[in-house]
């Protein structure tokens, strides 16, 4: 058959013409020269159709092109690529749409100007408005939270929030952190994740969670409640050294009100209710531990050397065991030196 356009003898593709003549006389993609794309000036999210997304510009623009360009159904295995440059006026993109007609691959090129409309996204406007559905409160029974604890809790909570955000939960954020009353308040945008945060704190640090809710008004004909999750941390924490009457104790673990501890004089382990040691004095935590060099040992005594002063001391073993490491851990009190078992 002869092509009616070029007269060549060969297969006819469509409308009496060969494929190369068909491609020359047709275009398969068409689109606007300008697209508006709302972008949040604070967090950089883009709004695609009516939804805000933290997806990357390239992904959003490809979706927009797919949605706003007319791409012929004749084109198979469509692939969209862009090359964008930011200028003062906005983004200028070269759009390449390729695909197959029969088995011939074609690529069509378009110039597209993307006008970035700076605005504030749903999440940021809530955040600026102080929006919060829940408060996670951390309180401790006895003393105030130390500066280190305050930092640790803040990092702990921020990490949970960031992890959830990275999994796509844009709506979760910390509106504010309140430090006062010897504790910490985290104002959280969503109730569900706030409870998860409270539970994770409890899992890690012990204590109890008390829930309460407050009616904060009506929205769309429904009562709106704000939740408070109060975590009361136990007086003591893992690793604390305590003095209870004449006993020196080291806390191994705490679960709820149950404390597992060892008596440093004989390394006897016991599990007690926290209330039975409520009046014990906290000497400190792991910062009190010192490392000494083991010099020699007998069945019931151990000779150690202070690596700083080279002073040598002989201490009675808490029980007849053999020390195998070169270094031993000790706690010095006013009158005594106690050996501390190695954690395994
Ligand atoms: Zn032809
Ligand atoms: Zn935003």
In SS3 terms, 249-307 reads as: EEEEEEECCEEEEEECCCCEEEEEEHHHHCCCEEEECHHHCEEEEEEEECCCEEEEECC
Backbone dihedral region for residue 217 (phi beyond 0: left; psi -120 to 50: alpha; all else: beta): left
Q: Find the ligand nearest to 13 CA.
A: 1
Per DSSP, the residues of 53-80 read E---HHHHHHHHHHHHSEE-TT-EEEEE
Q: Find the ligand nearest to 124 CA.
A: 2
Q: How far is the CA of 45 from the centre of ligand 2 (A)?
A: 6
Per DSSP, the residues of 215-234 read EEEEETTEEEEEEEEEEEE-
- Provide the angle, in degrees to the nearest 10, between the axes of the packed helices 147-166 and 191-205: 130
Q: How far is the CA of 130 from the centre of ligand 2 (A)?
A: 14
Cβ neighbours of residue 152 under 8 Å, at least 6 residues apart? none
Closest CA to 96 of 111, 81, 83, 106: 81
**Whole-number pLDDT of residue 142:** 66
Q: How far is the CA of 89 from the centre of ligand 2 (A)?
A: 21
Q: How far is the CA of 165 from the centre of ligand 2 (A)?
A: 13
Q: Could you give the 3-state DSSP secondary structure of residue 9?
A: strand
Q: Find the ligand nearest to 25 CA.
A: 1
Q: Find the ligand nearest to 22 CA.
A: 1
Q: Find the ligand nearest to 1 CA.
A: 1
Q: Find the ligand nearest to 120 CA.
A: 2
Q: Could you give the 3-state DSSP secondary structure of residue 16?
A: coil
Q: How far is the CA of 306 from the centre of ligand 2 (A)?
A: 57
Q: Find the ligand nearest to 127 CA.
A: 2
Q: Find the ligand nearest to 15 CA.
A: 1
Q: Find the ligand nearest to 6 CA.
A: 1
Q: Give the whole-angstrom CA distance, residue 283 versus residue 260.
A: 17
Q: How far is the CA of 132 from the centre of ligand 2 (A)?
A: 16
Q: How far is the CA of 52 from the centre of ligand 2 (A)?
A: 8
Q: How far is the CA of 39 from the centre of ligand 2 (A)?
A: 8
Q: Give the whole-angstrom CA distance, residue 127 versus residue 113.
A: 31
Per-residue pLDDT tens, the chain, 344 aa: give them: 899 989 889 899 888 999 989 998 899 999 999 999 999 999 899 999 899 998 999 999 999 999 999 999 999 999 999 999 988 878 899 999 999 998 889 999 999 999 999 999 999 998 888 889 999 999 987 678 888 888 989 999 999 999 998 888 888 999 999 987 788 999 999 999 999 999 998 887 777 899 999 988 877 788 888 999 999 887 788 899 999 988 999 999 888 778 999 999 999 999 999 888 888 888 888 889 999 999 999 999 999 999 999 999 999 999 988 988 899 999 999 889 999 998 64
Q: How far is the CA of 12 from the centre of ligand 1 (A)?
A: 8
Q: How far is the CA of 74 from the centre of ligand 1 (A)?
A: 19
């Amino acid at each position: 058959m002869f092509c009616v356009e070029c007269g060549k003898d060969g297969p006819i593709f469509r409308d009496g013409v060969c494929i190369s003549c068909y491609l020359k006389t047709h275009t398969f993609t068409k689109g606007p020269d300008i697209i508006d794309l709302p972008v949040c000036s604070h967090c950089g999210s883009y709004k695609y159709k009516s939804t805000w997304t933290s997806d990357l510009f390239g992904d959003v623009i490809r979706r927009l092109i797919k949605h706003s360009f007319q791409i012929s159904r004749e084109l198979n295995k469509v692939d969209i690529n862009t090359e964008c440059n930011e200028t003062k006026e906005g983004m200028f993109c070269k759009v390449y749409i390729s695909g197959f007609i029969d088995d011939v691959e074609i690529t069509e090129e378009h110039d597209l100007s993307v006008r970035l409309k700076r605005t504030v996204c749903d999440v940021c406007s809530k955040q600026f408005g102080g929006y919060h559905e829940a408060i996670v409160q951390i309180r401790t029974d006895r003393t105030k939270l130390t500066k280190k604890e305050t930092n640790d809790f803040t990092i702990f909570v921020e990490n949970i929030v960031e992890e959830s955000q990275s999994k796509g939960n844009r709506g979760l954020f910390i509106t504010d952190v309140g430090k006062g009353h010897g504790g910490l308040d985290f104002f959280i945008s969503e109730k569900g994740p706030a409870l998860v945060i409270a539970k994770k704190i409890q899992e890690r640090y012990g204590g109890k969670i008390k829930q309460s809710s407050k009616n904060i008004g009506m929205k769309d004909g429904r009562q709106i409640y704000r939740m408070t999750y109060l975590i009361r941390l136990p007086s003591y924490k893992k690793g604390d050294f305590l003095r209870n009457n004449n006993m020196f104790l080291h806390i191994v673990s705490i679960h709820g009100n149950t404390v597992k501890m060892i008596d440093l004089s004989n390394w006897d382990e016991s599990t007690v209710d926290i209330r039975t040691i409520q009046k014990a004095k906290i000497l400190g935590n792991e910062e009190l531990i010192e490392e000494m060099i083991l010099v020699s040992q007998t069945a019931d005594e151990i000779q150690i050397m202070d690596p700083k002063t080279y002073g040598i001391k002989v201490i009675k073993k808490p029980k007849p065991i053999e020390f195998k490491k070169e270094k031993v851990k000790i706690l010095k009190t006013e009158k005594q030196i106690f050996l501390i078992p190695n954690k395994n």
